[in-house]
Amino acid sequence: MDAIEFQVVNEVEEDSQGTRSCDDILDDPNRGRLLLDIHRVLRHPLLFLKITDPFITSHHPSCSHFEDHSVTFHGRRWCIGCTFNSLSFFGAMVILLIIWLFDETLLNRFYLFWGGGLAILLYFLVSLSNITEGKKRAKVLSKFLLGSGFAFLCWSILLIDGLVSPILAFKMLFILVLYLGFVTGLNIKRSHEIVHECETCEYMMRWSKCPGFREIVCRLVTNGFVNPEKRDAKN
């Protein structure tokens, strides 16, 4: 048994004998910062994912500040952006493929490119205007604009020199790079929005206090993935 696991077992045994609980640790005003034990995460990735599972699909804290950023389906919270961007993108890609199989002359690269670009531009204008704030249906519809618009752009690239051509592999690679860049940009935008929202919140990004994160943090502490920073005994 490695040292980290041994330490966790000892903590569990001591807790049963009346030592500090997770709540005591998190609420201790004299404790150091909470540090993530990355080595333990790498040793037990499945357990770590199981503990953080609610956040994997919701991508936002479970609190009133982000109520309109997720939808609940079959008891699980899903991020509106990721869910409906993906559904609209892949749905539009399949629909356009069906149209191409039915009659390829119906797909015009010029209209696909500018139609997709216009849809994406319209999405960002709507997003920057904040008119969808607090309106879940409006947010969902705006994601369909973004996802389907990007699908139109992808098809305008695929149709260069015909769908089936010697450069198909290069077109697919270009679309993959474009997609990854697109997703990265959206994630940066989302992260910035979450940080801004959390910094102005009364809990000021203190995850041990935030009701949207506290339960997950507590489980991470209990399972040894997160530990208070050890302070010098002189302090």
CA distance 27 to 203: 13
Phi, psi (5° rounding) for residue 203?
-90, -10
CA dist list (Å): 80 to 83, 84, 102, 175: 5, 6, 32, 23
Please report, for the chain, the start and end positions of each structural domain, with discontinuous segments joined by +: 3-58+211-228, 64-199
The count of C-alpha atoms lying within 13 angstroms of the C-alpha of 64, restricted to the half-sphere facing its C-beta, is 3
Give the pLDDT confidence of 5-46 residue by residue, as tens digits.
Answer: 323 333 433 343 335 678 777 877 777 778 888 888 898 888
Length of the chain: 235
Long-range contacts at 126-130 (CB < 8 A, ≥ 24 apart): none
End-to-end Cα distance, the chain: 32
Residue 114 confidence class, pLDDT cut points 50, 70, 90: very high
Q: Measured on CA atoms in the order 101, 167, 144, 116, is the torsion positive or negative?
A: negative
Helices and strands, counts by H and E, the chain? 10, 4
pLDDT, position 10: 36
For residue 1, pLDDT over 90 is answered with no
| Per-residue H/E/C for 131-148 | CCCCCHHHHHHHHHHHHH
Give the pLDDT confidence of 136-184 residue by residue, as tens digits.
Answer: 788 888 889 999 999 999 999 999 888 877 888 899 999 899 888 888 8
Give the pLDDT confidence of 58-111 residue by residue, as tens digits.
Answer: 777 777 667 777 787 777 888 888 888 889 999 999 999 999 999 888 899 999
CA distance 231 to 175: 50
Tokens of residue 224, six digits: 């040894």
pLDDT, position 16: 36
